[in-house]
Amino acid sequence: MRFEKLRAVVSGGASGLGRAVTDRVLGADGRVVVLDVAREAGQALMSAAPERVLYVPTDVRVESEVDQALIRAREFLGRIDLAVACAGVIGAGRVLGREGPMPSEHFQRTIGINLIGTFHLVKAAANLMQAQEPNGEGERGVLVLTASVAAFEGQIGQAAYSASKGGVAGMTLPLAREFARLGIRVMTIAPGIFETAMVAGMTDEIRQSLASQIPFPQRLGRPDEYAALVRHIVENSMLNGTTIRLDGAIRMQPK
Ligand SMILES: NC(=O)c1ccc[n+]([C@@H]2O[C@H](COP(=O)([O-])OP(=O)(O)OC[C@H]3O[C@@H](n4cnc5c(N)ncnc54)[C@H](O)[C@@H]3O)[C@@H](O)[C@H]2O)c1
């Protein structure tokens, strides 16, 4: 699928990796609908380019909000070529922490945003994509999900986060298989450590420890490197049904 003039929906598109995708789509003359809870950042994006960006305040945990947002997205965009699920939270915490065992609500919140929120977006986007005219190659749309290397080697304190991201990686193939007859591809990116607001919240010590674990390049990833892979996934129709690590060869240690 061509990336120029793409019509995209990005959850979590107001910050970090999602914002980089938003910028890249806009840079290629496309249009974007951003679903995010970050109202100020979302409004600012829309005010800067009102003909090309629509911000819809959306909590991805709420199915009806995502469904409504996707209907508004289709009205604004005409069709949806790409949906990228970037909304997420880090949800760190030990199961047996200093303040006692982790409350179930913490675990459920992390799963609710990272995994069920991703499912809501995928379902609503694919539902609209299936009614669209396919391109010359039979493609109706592309879905890109965001897991994490923590799906495969989560650290101590990442039980909830790893469970949520393992779920995202795990649903990639069955979704791709199910949507194959519709000409909708499904891919997941598992980033290593990227320079975003999520990581900015960590202490310098943790950030340095993480960066030093990356074999090469020994630095945190740049959000635009994530967006570059999203672009490649859109353009390369053979990519389907798998998770790509984007991580400088990091294999995270227990802590
Ligand atoms: N930064 C990293 O190193 C890294 C590594 C691996 C995976 N990831 C994943 O990448 C994705 C993007 O993270 P980021 O680093 O860009 O973080 P970020 O905090 O910069 O962006 C996340 C965005 O998601 C939005 N969001 C949070 N909860 C939401 C909700 N309930 N509904 C709608 N929007 C919501 C936030 O407002 C924010 O704009 C996340 O899924 C994260 O788990 C990030």
| Centre of ligand 1 from the C-alpha of residue 211, in Å | 19
For 56, the domain range is: 7-246
101 within a domain of the structure (yes/no): yes
Is 161 an annotated catalytic residue? yes
186-219 tens-digit pLDDT: 999 999 999 998 888 878 887 887 888 999 999 9
Residues 6+ apart with CB under 8 A from 116: 61
**For the domain that residue 71 is a member of, what is the CATH number?**
3.40.50.720
36 within a domain of the structure (yes/no): yes
Question: For the chain, how many structural domains are there in total?
Answer: 1
253 within a domain of the structure (yes/no): no
106 within a domain of the structure (yes/no): yes
252 within a domain of the structure (yes/no): no
| Centre of ligand 1 from the C-alpha of residue 9, in Å | 15
Q: Mean pLDDT, to the nearest integer, of 28-55?
A: 98
- pTM for the model: 0.97
Per the prediction, the chain carries an average pLDDT of 96
Q: Which of 55, 119, 161, 194 is an active site residue?
A: 161
216 within a domain of the structure (yes/no): yes
b or e along 203-223 (b: 16 or more beta carbons within 10 Å of the residue's beta carbon)? eeeebeebbebbeeeeebbeb
251 within a domain of the structure (yes/no): no
Does residue 107 line the site of ligand 1, with CB under 6 A?
Answer: no
1 within a domain of the structure (yes/no): no
79-123 tens-digit pLDDT: 999 999 999 999 999 999 999 999 999 999 999 999 999 999 999
